[in-house]
Amino acid sequence: MTTFKDYSADATDRKLTLAEILEIFAAGQQPLRFTAYDGSTAGPDDAELGLDLLTPRGTTYLATAPGELGLARAYVSGNLEMHGVHPGDPYDLLRALADKLDFKMPPARVLANIVRTIGIEHLKPISPPPQEALPRWRRIAEGLRHSRTRDAEAIHHHYDVSNTFYEWVLGPSMTYTCACYPDPDATLEEAQENKYRLVFEKLRLKPGDRLLDVGCGWGGMVRYAARHGVKAIGVTLSKEQAEWARNAIEAQGLGDLAEVRHGDYRDVRESGFDAVSSIGLTEHIGVQNYPSYFRFLKSKMRTGALLLNHCITRHDNRTGATAGGFIDRYVFPDGELTGSGRIITEAQDVGLEVVHEENLRNHYALTLRDWCRNLVEHWDEAVEEVGLPTAKVWGLYMAGSRIGFETNVVQLHQVLAVKLDSHGNDGGLPLRPWWTA
């Protein structure tokens, strides 16, 4: 394995090969093999993992966006190839690159030599792959950040890929949020069912109660609640999700209790719900909108009602909310994350009492592992359905996210809160947690 330090002695006074340049930008914790279209190689010959730079266009992507975004552009567009891993689950290679996922720049003198080597023509930006969303500054055409119009466009970019594709990746539950594994050997379906059971019990739901599920996805929580006698309303900005959920509700004979609406959660007119669940929505609404978000949810709850907020968070409360280049441009446009402390603070500041929170970080790593397994198993069908570049984006995103959860870059927190009356009464909650872990 070669490092910046190893190259510093001679990388400023000789012409580097393209494979050496690729190695400088992408060398990781394990020895990797690098090859390039100029015939050059770097790294040990017997390395099982590596990268192959196939075209000059790939060089331009790497040179004009050094770091994760440039690598993603080159890979998704087919100008960079991974070796030793399946594109549906490139976990092992990304893990080998883990210490470079922040992609620190090489020393200035080495960087200057890199520029001389590749040529000035490769420093002129070219169009990114069509799977990439516009940069944030250009998304103003879809409305102000986190306006209803722009939120709808961001949701469409990610969730309206193809219901068929999601069925292959997510499995029968069609649940695109962190599962909760009762034991390490549990299946994905068992873990997703257990997650819904946990949310249901935390919310103290019982037959005859009313549940509002905001950002309901394909209606998994709505259908679980309805199967247990609860009248549930779900709302999603994704038209395709809503259509799939309605068909599932009808097929399962749950129409008397379950309803999924296509629209903005802020358009829900009903109130007095016994419980509100928000499973995977908070990541999309923008940190500055947390006060109005929690205030709105509180307004929909009767006194003594419970709110369960389930969302991805930062590992601290200092890191900026904006997502990295790859996630923002290819996966979650306008997505924002903050620490669990900020989530709790905002809920408290609108008058909700937080009674419990827990971190399911390791469960999300297992969930992503199983989604990648599903994608690998259905790879040919997935490529036929959405195209090779989009399928590669998903493999890259899910495997990279798994590493993020394993290494505590991101976490998954469930925060449980209650709406008190004017005298601080919580409606008679038990003194200790009432659900089964």
DSSP labels, 77-126: TTSEEEESSBTTB-HHHHHHTGGGTT-PPPPHHHHHHHHHHH-GGGGS--
The beta strand positions in 164-300, using DSSP E, are 210-214, 231-236, 258-262, 273-279
* Digit-coded pLDDT (tens) for 256-299: 999 999 999 999 999 999 999 999 999 999 999 999 999 999 99
Pairing of strands 33-36, 41-42: antiparallel
The average pLDDT across 15-19 equals 86
Instruction: Give the model's confidence band at 95: pLDDT under 50 very low, under 70 low, under 90 confident, else very high.
Output: very high
In 3D space, the residue among 397, 362, 364, 384 whose CA is nearest the CA of residue 175 turns out to be 364
What distance in Å separates the CA atoms of residue 211 and residue 178, rounded to the nearest whole number?
20
Tell whether pTM > 0.75: yes
How remote is the C-alpha of 2 from its chain's centroid? 32
In 3D space, the residue among 343, 365, 373 whose CA is nearest the CA of residue 411 turns out to be 365
Number of H helices, E strands in the chain: 18, 11
Both tokens of residue 431?
């003194």
Determine the angle formed by the axes of helices 388-406 and 68-76, rounding to 10 degrees: 150
Domain chopping of the chain, boundaries? 4-123, 151-419
Give residue for tokens 């190259």: 7
Arithmetic mean of pLDDT over the chain: 89
* pLDDT exceeds cutoff 80 at 301: yes
* Digit-coded pLDDT (tens) for 29-46: 678 899 999 999 999 999
Is residue 318 exposed (0-12), middle (13-18) or buried (19+ Cβ within 10 Å)?
exposed
User: Is-contact 224 195, C-beta < 8 A?
Assistant: no
Both tokens of residue 17?
């090969």
Backbone angles phi, psi at 244, to 5 degrees: -60, -45
Query: Is domain 151-419 given the CATH code 3.40.50.150 in the classification?
Result: yes
For 211, 231, 342, the CA distances from 356, given in Å and listed in that order, are: 19, 25, 15
For 47, 207, 390, 433, the CA distances from 397, given in Å and listed in that order, are: 24, 39, 10, 35
